[in-house]
Amino acid sequence: MSVVDRQEWDVVVVGAGGAGLRAAVEARERGARTAVICKSLFGKAHTVMAEGGIAASMGNVNSGDNWQVHFRDTMRGGKFLNQWRMAELHAQEAPDRVWELETWGALFDRTKDGRISQRNFGGHEYPRLAHVGDRTGLELIRTLQQKIVSLQQEDFAETGDYESRLKVYQECTVTRILKDGDRVSGTFCYERESGRFFVLEAPSVIVATGGIGKSFKVTSNSWEYTGDGHALALLAGAPLLNMEFVQFHPTGMVWPPSVKGILVTESVRGDGGVLRNSEGKRFMFDYVPDVFKEKYAQSEEEGDRWYEDPDHNRRPPELLPRDEVARAINSEVKAGRGSPHGGVFLDVSTRMPAEVIRRRLPSMYHQFKELADVDITAEAMEVGPTCHYVMGGIAVESDTAAARGVPGLFAAGEVAGGMHGSNRLGGNSLSDLLVFGRRAGLHAARYAASAVQTGRPAVDETEVDAAAAEALRPFSAEGPEPGTGTGTEAALPGRDAVPAAGRPPENPYTLHQELQQAMNDLVGIIRREAEMEAALEKLAELRVRARRAGVEGHRQFNPGWHLALDLRNMLLVSECVARAALERTESRGGHTREDHPGMDRAWRRLNLLCRLADPTGGLAATDPVRGQIDLSRESTEPIRPDLLALFEKEELVKYLAEEELYE
């Protein structure tokens, strides 16, 4: 019988980034007693790093903008693989979510006539990104944090307890979603500082844990991005959608090595920055694909004129969607026209006065000055692709954010799949967090209210004991020979009973480094069949070794232990990425196959779903070499005719399969 401490809530939100906090505000406002739990300090989530802005068609800078144009841009950016209903809701609701933030205290940069200013970004037809300099994510989180505190103050006035209806558990990690039969019953968690285990019981759990970038060596992502939510959902029985689509942002720092991968915001190009190769050529003009030819400038002069007169000129190709720019940079470097440290040059110094650069791009100015000793007002930056965002994620219902197949489970933000198709446009994440965070909070609260009436799900003691045993395993990594163990962990899906193989423990840091190297080299920006097969073999080897990931010491703040636990998630998610990438024999958005270079219209009709193989814990789940993931194909839902009517027929021909056009 477990002695783990328990607390009862209506809704548990895992993650305190933009999606999690927006969901929590909504759930609490709908009357649900809501707990938020996060790995970092409250107010320090990855969203804080977001720089460029929030995409919303408010039409403040160009009145031609509206939700239909935003929808079109989003579908084009995602190469029509987006879950179109999500793209529609997102485009329609984003402006309200931005205005709402202002009513809660956010202060965006203004136009001369006092409206919220909007800036240009890749793939957006009009200036659309509401921003606060290049620190938009910080303002978003600060505002949501303030809103949460104000709700807690209201609760205090009524109940005498600030945390009676809304509580934040900071610096805590969820390692398992618990279930009562098919239904969610809560989360198993530990405090990172003390190592103490506890359970949050709730009929609704919203996963809002962000991305997976820490499985790759070069990444813009923070330490929190170990794919926990993706893995938690998989282990709870929910499928992941289109995990092959990983976005490599074209511009990360390439030098010095200690900062390689740190993001150089797209606002640099949105505000006039240009890309050049070692010969000084603005090479992007050579890389405009046919599907975008009519929309982008053919000459430097036209591209430059667009900044002043966007209604009579076409935008420069530096502002193509990210996948196109990243591939172009990769090709230039490969062709020997790269910068000294293996990137290309991004120049604002010859394009804007120094004081404008310092005002519009203050974080970039300081980032380069402090980390690379480069003054971007006087010289060009060196940049190259960096793993940035995962478009794949938990398969959800578009309107409700409910995860498929697991009643009570919801997902929002980067961890949810579908919204961005095969490639996300810059700025569309922050708006996604707000639109679908709100929807997840609303529907999770409704579901919890009905569950409370019909009977709360019960937390299963055996599952709690098994989750505790699983979390403690790294402290006893040396174990019996394979096949001889019968530990309590066997009660968990995705876990076998064999603790270890009688050999010395493996160092979790070494395993992590090898994983990152393999994913970077073998499932990175340009993919080849043989390399992805090699990646799957390497992942199988790492999975076996990770069973012996061991740590010394005790549970009080022990980063090695935390990493050993995160490895399970990174390995699961990496296997999903590699298997799906091997299966999709075409190039689309964030998935580029050298052996299948073209976009294949037949593939637009197909989604790839990853599920935990044999979640009951049978042979597949216990055989680390065979792998833990089953992959299946599923037809995409036909796009509603009134939404298709927003596009020219000539454009649709480029994306849709014959039969779809005919229909």
Q: Where are the alpha helices (DSSP H) in 199-250?
A: 228-235
| Shortest Å distance, C-beta 225 to ligand FAD | 7
CB of 252 or CB of 316, closer to ligand FAD? 252
Instruction: Say whether 6 is catalytic.
Output: no
Q: Is 376 in the site for ligand FAD (CB under 6 A)?
A: no
Q: Is 45 in the site for ligand FAD (CB under 6 A)?
A: yes
Q: Is 419 in the site for ligand FAD (CB under 6 A)?
A: no
Tell me which residue of 399, 459, 544 sits closest to 181, measured CA to CA: 459
The conformation of residue 259, written as its DSSP 8-state character, comes to: G
Phi first, then psi, for residue 382 (nearest 5°) are -105, 130
Q: Which long-range contacts (CB under 8 A, 24 or more apart) does 255-260 make?
A: 255/341, 255/343, 255/372, 255/382, 256/371, 256/372, 259/371, 259/372, 260/218, 260/386
Q: Which one from 28, 119, 269, 322 is the annotated catalytic residue? A: 322
Q: Can you name the residues that pair with 591 across neighbouring β-strands?
A: 588
Choosing from 429, 558, 574, 592, the residue that interacts with ligand FAD (CB under 6 A) is 429
Site string for ligand FAD, 186-225 (x = CB under 6 A): ----------------------xxx---------xx--x-
- How far apart are the C-alpha atoms of 130 and 60, rounded to whole Å? 9
Task: Tell me the residue length of the chain.
Answer: 663
Which residue lies nearest ligand FAD, judged by its C-beta? Answer: 17
Rg (CA), the chain: 24
Using CB under 6 A, which of the segments 47-55, 57-65, 108-116, 238-246 binds ligand FAD? 47-55
Within the chain, what is the greatest distance between any pair of CA atoms?
74
- How far apart are the C-alpha atoms of 85 and 408, rounded to whole Å? 21
Q: Is 15 in the site for ligand FAD (CB under 6 A)?
A: yes
- Of 533-572, binders to ligand FAD (CB under 6 A) are none
Which residues, in sequence order, are CB contacts of 400 under 8 Å at separation 6+? 410, 439, 440, 443
Choosing from 98, 174, 205, 612, the residue that interacts with ligand FAD (CB under 6 A) is 174
Site string for ligand FAD, 245-284 (x = CB under 6 A): ------------------x---------------------
CB of 163 or CB of 302, closer to ligand FAD? 163
- State both tokens at 619: 């042979």
Using CB under 6 A, which of the segments 98-106, 146-154, 413-421, 517-525 binds ligand FAD? 413-421
- How far apart are the C-alpha atoms of 370 and 227, rounded to whole Å? 30
Q: Is 421 in the site for ligand FAD (CB under 6 A)?
A: no
CB of 253 or CB of 466, closer to ligand FAD? 253
Binding residue count for ligand FAD, defined by CB under 6 A: 42
Angle separating helix axes 136-159 and 428-454, nearest 10 degrees: 30
CB of 427 or CB of 615, closer to ligand FAD? 427
Tell me which residue of 633, 630, 636, 642 sits closest to 660, measured CA to CA: 636
Choosing from 53, 441, 615, 617, the residue that interacts with ligand FAD (CB under 6 A) is 53
Write out the residues near ligand FAD by the rule CB under 6 A.
14-20, 37-40, 45-47, 49-53, 136-137, 173-174, 208-210, 220-221, 224, 228-229, 263, 389, 413-415, 426-430, 433
The residues assigned a catalytic role are 322
